[in-house]
Structure 1
Amino acid sequence: MYDLIVIGAGPAGSMAARQAAQSGLKTLLLDKDQFPRAKPCGGGLTLRALDALASVGLRLPESVIERPLMGARITIAGRSVEVRKPWPVAVTVLRERFDSLLLHAAAAAGARVELGRRVEAVTQDRSSVAISAGRETWSGRLAVIAEGASGRLKRVVRPINGECFWICVSTDSILNGQVDDHGLMHIETGLTRTGYAWIFPRRESASVGLSAMPGHCHGPRRILGGYLGGHGFDADLPLRGHIVPLGGLKRRLASGRVLLAGDAGGFADAFTCEGIAYALLSGAAAGHAAALALAHGDLDKEKDGAGGLERIYTDLCRPLLRQLRHSLLALRIHDLLPASLYQAILLDPGCLSAFLDVAAAKRGYPSFLAYIARRLPGLTLKALPDA
């Protein structure tokens, strides 16, 4: 029997398995795919994500970093503003390389890795968890489900009907002078009611995509095709879609002996759709929670069952959950703003600079919103006709 079985070897799952193995737990890490494998994703790692790696002793080798991004260019209604920082706001990576790096780190820490194993069922009783894939079944004392936003295994913890999420459509394209400066991320809003299009440059290619809320975007593939063609990319490139959970909502993170991490747990920024940083942080917290709960030694007692596991994990995730609630507040405030005022905020260099500080974990959403509030009178004047 394993101490911990982790389902899903993306950033959250690999971090959970590595943390647990480093803590001395007999750990099994399962994934349905063989690695390396492609993953639809913008591939942007913010400073928050890099700090999360550094906090557990991991560093991105130069060979994995595609390009540092020193700022952003925001475009809305044909008008643009750009802000550069003296430090990288983010770096771009290829997910197949980045995820393989984390998988190997988990294996190096002592986790057993089984690839090509599509888990079909997770069942539990008061003393163990059973994980079934095809004709094989593994038993563990605890489990972490980190299979992403679209997986259905998380229903062992909570109902999956009525989940709120972003839809994302993206592609990869060779760069050939389509963007003016490869040192900036390019963001355009206004193509859909809520959401944005992006270009994240890499060394020789770029991730180009569109995110939107369901119901706020009609024909996302058509819209992204137009965006690609308008920026000199092939409008007929093959597109891939995925979903990102709307973070900040109250969700159950554990039930009995099973924890949810990463997208499966709803750990994503509601305002920006950033998920990798929160996958890393929640995955590490899940592995740590498993080690603490097993060390506590009362998981098998009828009096407590595995209730201590949920409390420990929730306590470890409290700072993340607070940040995500604030990101949801920012999104809801955004939805209430008149379009002209929102445009004035977006095109203000000071506001963009402050927001980049949020993405870099140098400022929280409350500080960012307070900054906007202080600037609101002047921004409102800018938003007036003929201002």
Structure 2
Amino acid sequence: MPVEMYDLIVAGAGPAGSTAARAAVLQGLDTLILEKQTFPRYKPCGGALSSKATAILDYSLPDSICERAITGARVHFRDRVLEKHKGYNLTTLVDRSRFDDLLLKKAQEGGAGIINQKVMDFSEKNGFISVKTDERTYQSRFLVIASGCQDELRSRICGRDGRDCMGICLVADIKEDDEKIRERLPEILDIHFGVAEGGYGWIFPHRGYYSVGIGGLSSRLSHPRRTMLQFLRKNGFPESQRLHGHQIPQGGNKRQYALGRVLLAGDAAGFVDAFTGEGIYYALASGRIAGQVIGEVPAQEVARAYEKGCEKVFGAELRYALFFSKMMHRYPEIFMRILACQEEVLDRYIEIAAAKISYKDFIRWLLPRLPMNLLRTL
């Protein structure tokens, strides 16, 4: 059987992969997505989609995917609770199964092919990439690896992350009547600091269910299941929930994410907010940049152009998020208490989610005010 040749092969049909494929096909590139699972598939995730993430899409999201508009946050730390509403949309909660399926369909509508096979290996030679799946071999001019941080393919480019650079999350979807959800969480996210080492717990109000989870650094969260069960019990949920676990990379750390004709995108590249664990925006942004540069610049310049594009759009934000995360978790009694006690600080912080300010803006605003804010918490 002859080996098929493409302009681009994308490994993984999540947000990064489907967005890369759509950006490529809209430029006339012959593109194939290789995905091990059949969509729609379940995806454990809080499902918070920021306005800057939706701005990347060149189409509107249907109401069936947008489950809840969020206008505020309730933050807990120890015995302190602070709630703040902004009066405008901060983020939208989506059903990740249907959201990811829509992204894939949009890539297919543009002309991308999809084959349900798992990519096992790849090699680069003589100006093309050979991509080996569990069934056959394909060839392309470029390869985008967007199959997540747990896929061994990424280690060929960026190496393996240590436990200090990797997070772990446990998530449960808990069914509930919509009216009761609105009474408990009226368009707000419920965030609990101090329940998971190097991370936090959350309760997000979706349509007909709560997304409840905990996440933290793998090196510090030594008993994630026990921590999750304690979090469920403390917040009035039955402990007999089906738990879904997954790893997420800690963004902002120095990694190589482009080499020759192979680009990493989304979680595979480590593009995740180190403090919140949010990765959808970075998946969409890096996927779009990957698809665009492959179609726009000479082959020998693609890797460098991709690196420059990612750095320009979100590189500094990831590094400042990492700095903020390390600051918060190194001195939690200081910084998390301020966030859960000072309305002015929380009000300013949640503007990051609304893309009103950056982490850099927030840190520069916060640091000169630390002494006075600390005194107010005593």
TM range (shorter): over 0.9
| Paired residue type of 2:303 | E
Note the C-alpha offset of 1:192: 2.4
SS, match of residue 171 in structure 2? strand
Given the alignment, which residue of 50, 53, 75 partners 1:46? Answer: 50
Whether 2:317 is the aligned partner of 1:323: answer yes
Identify the residue that residue 59 of structure 1 maps to in structure 2: 60
Deviations 1:61-102 (A, max 9, x none): 111101111111001112211111121111111111000000
Q: How many angstroms apart in 2 are the aligned matches of 1:274 and 1:341?
A: 20
Matches within 5 A, 1:193-272: 193-272=197-276
| Paired residue type of 2:341 | L
Q: How many angstroms apart in 2 are the aligned matches of 1:262 and 1:37?
A: 18
Note the C-alpha offset of 1:138: 0.7
Whether 2:374 is the aligned partner of 1:380: answer yes
SS, match of residue 251 in structure 1? coil
Identity %: 38
Note the C-alpha offset of 1:286: 0.6
| Paired residue type of 1:120 | M
Q: How many angstroms apart in 1 are the aligned matches of 2:172 and 2:161?
A: 29
Q: How many angstroms apart in 1 are the aligned matches of 2:205 and 2:253?
A: 32
Q: How many angstroms apart in 2 are the aligned matches of 1:191 and 1:28?
A: 43
Note the C-alpha offset of 1:360: 1.6
Whether the aligned pair in 1 keeps the contact of 2:22 and 2:112 (CA below 8 Å) is yes
Note the C-alpha offset of 1:374: 3.2
Q: How many angstroms apart in 2 are the aligned matches of 1:218 and 1:311?
A: 38
1:368–1:281: structure 2 CA closer, same or farther, 3 Å change rule? same
Note the C-alpha offset of 1:250: 1.1
Note the C-alpha offset of 1:161: 5.0
Note the C-alpha offset of 1:338: 5.6
Whether the aligned pair in 2 keeps the contact of 1:271 and 1:328 (CA below 8 Å) is yes
Q: How many angstroms apart in 1 are the aligned matches of 2:14 and 2:307?
A: 21
Whether the aligned pair in 1 keeps the contact of 2:196 and 2:214 (CA below 8 Å) is no
> Over the residues paired in the alignment, what is the CA RMSD in angstroms?
1.5
Identify the residue that residue 280 of structure 2 maps to in structure 1: 276
1:203–1:124: structure 2 CA closer, same or farther, 3 Å change rule? same
Whether the aligned pair in 1 keeps the contact of 2:36 and 2:118 (CA below 8 Å) is yes
Identify the residue that residue 358 of structure 2 maps to in structure 1: 364
1:192–1:22: structure 2 CA closer, same or farther, 3 Å change rule? same
Q: How many angstroms apart in 2 are the aligned matches of 1:131 and 1:231?
A: 47
Identify the residue that residue 70 of structure 2 maps to in structure 1: 69
Note the C-alpha offset of 1:229: 2.1
SS, match of residue 184 in structure 2? coil
Matches within 5 A, 1:161-200: 161-162=161-162, 164-176=165-177, 177=180, 180-200=184-204
SS, match of residue 157 in structure 1? helix
Identify the residue that residue 303 of structure 1 maps to in structure 2: none
SS, match of residue 361 in structure 2? helix
Deviates more, 1:330-339 or 1:274-283: 330-339
SS, match of residue 325 in structure 2? helix
Deviations 1:21-46 (A, max 9, x none): 00110000110000100011111112
1:79–1:157: structure 2 CA closer, same or farther, 3 Å change rule? same
Note the C-alpha offset of 1:345: 3.0
Whether 2:25 is the aligned partner of 1:21: answer yes
| Paired residue type of 2:228 | L
Whether 2:307 is the aligned partner of 1:314: answer yes
Whether 2:359 is the aligned partner of 1:355: answer no
SS, match of residue 118 in structure 2? coil
Whether the aligned pair in 2 keeps the contact of 1:156 and 1:255 (CA below 8 Å) is no
Note the C-alpha offset of 1:344: 2.2
Q: How many angstroms apart in 2 are the aligned matches of 1:33 and 1:101?
A: 15
SS, match of residue 61 in structure 1? coil
1:347–1:371: structure 2 CA closer, same or farther, 3 Å change rule? same
Q: How many angstroms apart in 2 are the aligned matches of 1:153 and 1:167?
A: 20
Q: How many angstroms apart in 2 are the aligned matches of 1:210 and 1:153?
A: 27
Q: How many angstroms apart in 2 are the aligned matches of 1:335 and 1:187?
A: 15
SS, match of residue 223 in structure 1? helix
Name structure 1 gaps, 5 residues minimum. Answer: 300-305
| Paired residue type of 2:306 | Y
Q: How many angstroms apart in 1 are the aligned matches of 2:332 and 2:216?
A: 18
Identify the residue that residue 92 of structure 1 maps to in structure 2: 93
Runs of 4+ with >3 A deviation? 176-179
| Paired residue type of 1:354 | R
SS, match of residue 56 in structure 2? helix
Note the C-alpha offset of 1:126: 3.3
Q: TM-score, normalised by structure 2?
A: 0.94
Matches within 5 A, 1:65-144: 65-115=66-116, 117-144=117-144
